[in-house]
Amino acid sequence: SPLEQFEIRDLLGLTSPMMDFSFINITNFGLYTMITLLVILTMNLMTNNYNKLVGSNWYLSQEMIYDTIMNMVKTQIGGKVWGYYFPLVYTFFITIFTMNLISMIPYSFAMTSHVVFVVSMSMIIWLGTTIIGFYTHGLKFFGLFLPTGTPLILVPLLVSIELLSYFARTISLGLRLSANIMAGHLLIVILGGLLFNLMAMNILTFLLGFLPMIAILGIVCLEFAITIIQAYVWCILMSSYLKDTIYLH
């Protein structure tokens, strides 16, 4: 089944007749989380050109990512406080970006396609921004749900709509990412499966199969673009939510 690729499997675990140790099992999800951490650390620590003043060519890529996210956060949040939230946004970006790229390698595992994981992250962000809002503005934070200049008669309607859209952010932020990644991976695997069946039929179909393979290659390129764009979109929305709570309207 194309959905097999998303299964979480135990790779290493402890069994005991006394107690259930399954909560410390190392799963493929745990393994890929560690791989992600390793890749991020490697990209940041091993590319500094032996601590020389000018980094290596790999280091430049990290610098470019840093610069892009910094400019985005500066534009989105602005003001004087954008710098407080930049490390958080950058950490989210580099984590999701690396996870997405790792998931594109064949035989690997797509962590960001797991709704429970990604929506948990988006919920944490939503909760954090709400706490920041109440901490900064107190009860005036509720002003976020009422656009200025609203006629009195429309106030209940608009407040309920705004409240709904505010709560919907919890799900929408995470769902957008995981749905995109899941859809992309499913599409590639389904197309791959179809092509494999076609090519396995006989020598003629095997040779003909190379044509649609080029189309799949195009879709893979597109998927790579989506993985990068989704990580960026996550950070843009996160910054926008932060801006909303910091400055209200």
Here's the x/- map for another protein, 217-246, by CB under 8 A: it reads as x--xx--x----------------------
Nearest CA-CA partner of 125 in 87, 84, 174, 178: 174
Please provide the size of the chain in residues. 249
Question: Per rule CB under 8 A, is residue 57 in the interface with another protein?
Answer: yes
Quote the CA–CA distance of 178 and 172 in Å, as a whole number.
Answer: 10
* 11 token code pair: 């790779």
Question: Per rule CB under 8 A, is residue 66 in the interface with another protein?
Answer: no
Question: Per rule CB under 8 A, is residue 187 in the interface with another protein?
Answer: no
Q: Whole-number minimum distance, CB 7 to another protein, in Å?
A: 14
Q: Whole-number minimum distance, CB 70 to another protein, in Å?
A: 17
Q: Whole-number minimum distance, CB 150 to another protein, in Å?
A: 50
**Of these, 38, 60, 157, 207, which contacts another protein (CB under 8 A)?**
60
Number of neighbours of residue 204 by Cβ within 10 angstroms: 8
Question: Per rule CB under 8 A, is residue 70 in the interface with another protein?
Answer: no
Question: Per rule CB under 8 A, is residue 213 in the interface with another protein?
Answer: yes
**Of these, 105, 152, 204, 211, which contacts another protein (CB under 8 A)?**
105
- Burial code of 127-147, b = ≥16 C-beta within 10 A, e = fewer? ebbbebbeeebeeebeebbbe
* 104 token code pair: 């594109």
Q: Whole-number minimum distance, CB 224 to another protein, in Å?
A: 7
DSSP 8-class letter at 188:
H
DSSP 84-121: HHHHHHHHHHHHHHHHHHHHTSTT---GGG-HHHHHHH
**Of these, 35, 39, 199, 233, which contacts another protein (CB under 8 A)?**
199
- Which CB atom, from 106 or from 156, has the smaller least distance to another protein? 106
**Contact assessment for residue 220 and residue 106, using Cβ atoms and an 8 Å cutoff:** no
